[in-house]
Structure 1
Amino acid sequence: MRPTRRAIALAGVCTLGFWLAGAFGARSLNAVVVPGLVALAAGAIQLRLADRPTIDRRQPTAGFPGDSRTIAIEIDADSALTARIEETVDDDLGTDFSPTKRALPTTVEYDVELEERGEYRLGPLTLAVTDVLGLFTKEFTYAKRTPVLVYPECYRLAGVEGRFGGHDPFDDREAFDELREYVPGDSLRDVHWKSSAKRDDLVVMEFDSTADATGVTVVAEAVAGYDDAMASAAASVVTHLLDAGLAVGLTYPGGRIERAGGEPQRERVLRTLARAGPGRADDPDADVHVFADAGGTRVTVEDRETPFDRLTGARPSRAAADGGQRS
């Protein structure tokens, strides 16, 4: 705890008052000196007895480059205090936050812009707390740092069929088993139109969910400095496969995600690729190979290698990455 400039000035006034009273007998100065001393004592006691304020900074949801998030910090105190609030934000997150002075308790909100793939941190936070009169200050530091995750940019694949010898190599779903009647909720892509025309009723193709073809594994690799491109391409490919109803696995430098489908797998893969670095990822049984280096990013399927930018419309698609909804 240390005095503020206001406290130093008030103490100076009180000292001067004592000197004047002693030198000239100016007892009327007690009207200034006594309240000043009381104020100094009250401020020091209030701040010394005050408990450490508590903070609650909620972790923002992950997002894609270009998204923004509102950060809310709840600060609670057991007495009427004022605090100057400073928050450290990683340089790679754009922010409009600046130190602010508030009466406690309070909630501070500010926005951050998600700019580049990766995991970033908010914090530490510092509170410079003062008593109600602003005479003394005490600093509290909260070292806990809250992560902010930025997914890789994700692109919708376009013109895949034409790039791979006349068919979509990613559309290798379960082995065909039988035809059955259409029920609401079935995908129109599964309708067997020729048989439906003959029966004058819609029928859909049923697939054998136990067939080995239900699963696809993507392996992603990159040389140093090109891991962002690798992560973006791998995220786009995996998203395309998941949207096709496939169970997808991912092998990446340093780890592996087993085959699975649905939204939990999409989230799992995006989170992993947000953090993935460069390196090799040995998986000789992988169905799709993504590789990025100084020569560009390539996707290889069944020995057919294609530059990744030829598979995209060169525009990011957030809807594709999060299953049709913006984060």
Structure 2
Amino acid sequence: MARSQTTVSARFDTQFTTGSRGLTNARTRIVGDRTGFLADAIIALVRLATAVRAVLSRVFGRVAAVVTPLGWTAVIAVPVSLGFGYGLGILELVVAGWALLALLLIAVVYLVGRSPLQIRLALPHNRVVVGEEAEGEIVAVNPARRRSLGATVEVPVGAGIVELVVPGLGAGATDARSFAIPSARRGIVPVGPVRAVRADPVGLVRREITWPGALELVVHPVTIGIPSMSTGLIRDLEGNPTRDLSTNDVSFHALREYVPGDDRRYIHWKSSARTGTYMVRQFEETRRSHLVIALSLAAGDYADDAEFELAVSVAGSLGSRAIKDARSLTVVVGEATPQFAKRKLFAVRVLSTLSRARLLDDLAVVDRAESALAITDVARVTGEQAAGASVAFLVCGSGVTPQELRAASTKFPAGVEVVAVVCDPETTPGLRRVAGLSVLTIGYLDDLQKALARSASS
């Protein structure tokens, strides 16, 4: 029994030791398992040095955050100028050293204190059209009971920075300042976050206070109003019936003899009584229009950026009209194959058509790509996925040949009206009809109205 207790005690001591054996921490790495006054003194010095280093690191971090590269140059130049000036007896270096030191001390005064200003960024309109005036606004409020000093406010706008000067404000006062936002190009312009800057006139020191909250300005492509596209191109409940016959619809066509399987509700009893044979009504099938707009993003389909921007505007104009007419609408763009993919990616991206604004938001960010699907491949994928389409618009540039357009039109099922809109400012606008395909060539966005009207009338 005693031997068993001894074994258990030994195991317990092995598992729950209180010595430094097997311990790995900062102390053991410095002094090992040594104890005593000298080891404790070394550990105390190391802990003090660690604390001092942490404090100096925080102080240096704050100093480095406010001293500019020009300020660091001045800090280094002061002892160098004074040292060489007094050592070599050069009066000019002595004067320059003391002057730089005076500038540094004056610059520090500009950082004393903290401004109570609260600044808010706002965009009166977060969506504009290319070329329209766009502006942002900053609102400065002084919630303190004392008057605030003036401040310089910087607002990052896209790749640039807008500087605004906010004057000193009294207690509870408010000041609003507007600034222009460039909208010459389609896309999304990030605005903010706002930061207030305090700096000396020379630029030796600089302290920034940033208010969170960046905004985005969406620059839509230019669009025009076009007439309703139902007349001549689309046959639906609001237009003309199709030539397809149906046993159940709203447009009456003729009477025919009853065959097993016909719906008895459509038996015309008066005609049946006169002929002695069951006669049923036959209808012309009407169709709810489903528009498909396919925009090519392939760089090879366009000669330059002007053609591509015109194509985006055409897609936006057609889509906006369809949404206004409450048509079933699908707008797609070709996907780009990843740079290191082994195989070509056959896919399209469907843009939002919930509203005109959502569609133009998506069109604002599309761009050309070398590896994007060409218009023929876009038509192929779209024809397989867009079921029930009645009209398909293929929007591309002058880089697409007539043979490629004809090949693209064959990718859609029979009965689908295919209209190709070729954007080419160097060509006279015109309309060409090939079997199952209408080709509209436009040089300006306004030509789209005339081209659609000419296509519908013909």
Normalized against structure 2, the TM-score is what?
0.41
Is the contact between residue 219 and residue 252 of structure 1 (CA under 8 Å) also seen in structure 2?
yes
Partners of 2:199 and 2:118 in 1: CA distance: 12
In structure 1, what is the Cα distance between the partners aligned to 2:153 and 2:195? 6
**Equivalent residues of 2:296, 2:334 under 8 A apart:** yes
Aligned to 1:76: 141
Equivalent in the alignment of 2:437: 304
* Structure 2, unpaired ranges of 5+: 1-62, 68-106, 242-248, 252-285, 300-304, 336-348, 410-416, 419-435, 450-458
Q: Deviations over 1:182-232 (max 9, x none)?
A: xxxxxxxxxxxxxxxxxxxxxxxxxxxxx7523322222232255423321
- 2:185 is the counterpart of 1:116: yes
Confirm or deny that 1:271 pairs with 2:374. Answer: no
Flag structure 1 segments of 5+ consecutive residues without an equivalent: 4-39, 162-166, 180-210, 317-327
In 2, Cα distance between equivalents of 1:235 and 1:84: 41
Larger Rg: 2
Tell me the residue number matched to 2:289. Answer: 214
The structure 2 residue matched to 1:56, chosen from 111, 121, 127, is 121
Contact 2:164 2:177 in 1 (8 A): no
Return closer, same or farther for 1:60/1:129 CA change in 2, 3 Å cut-off: farther
Q: Residues 170 and 229 (structure 1 numbering): CA distance in 2 closer, same or farther, change over 3 Å? A: farther
The answer to whether the aligner puts 1:256 opposite 2:350 as a matched pair is: yes
Aligned equivalents of 1:137, 1:310: Cα separation in 2: 52
Which residue of 226, 229, 232 corresponds with 1:168?
232
**Equivalent residue for 2:310, pick from 200, 220, 229:** 229
Task: Pick 1 or 2: higher relative contact order, CA cutoff 8 A, min separation 6.
Answer: 1
More helix by share: 2
Report if aligned partners of 1:253, 1:276 keep a CA contact under 8 Å in 2. Answer: no
Counterpart check, 1:89 vs 2:157: yes
Query: In the alignment, is the contact (CA less than 8 A) between 1:155 and 1:314 conserved in 2?
Result: no
Q: Distance in 2 between matches of 1:137 and 1:117?
A: 35
Q: Deviations for 1:123-153, whole angstroms, at most 9, x for unmatched residues?
A: 343311489xxxx973223465321111111
Q: Which amino acid in the other structure matches residue 312 of structure 2? A: A
C-alpha contact 2:157 2:192 (8 A) present in aligned 1: yes
Check conservation: 2:295, 2:311, Cα contact below 8 A: yes
C-alpha spacing 1:41/1:257, structure 2 compared with 1 (3 Å): closer
| Structure 1 segment 135-146 matched on structure 2, within 5 A | 138-142=207-211, 144-146=213-215
Provide the identity percentage.
Answer: 13
Q: CA RMSD in A?
A: 4.4
Q: Do the aligned residues in 2 keep the contact of 1:83 with 1:128 (CA within 8 Å)? A: yes
- C-alpha separation between the residues in 2 aligned to 1:41 and 1:85? 20
Between the two proteins, the alignment pairs up a number of residues equal to 232
Q: TM-score, normalised by structure 1?
A: 0.55
Quote how far apart the aligned CAs of 1:118 are.
1.2
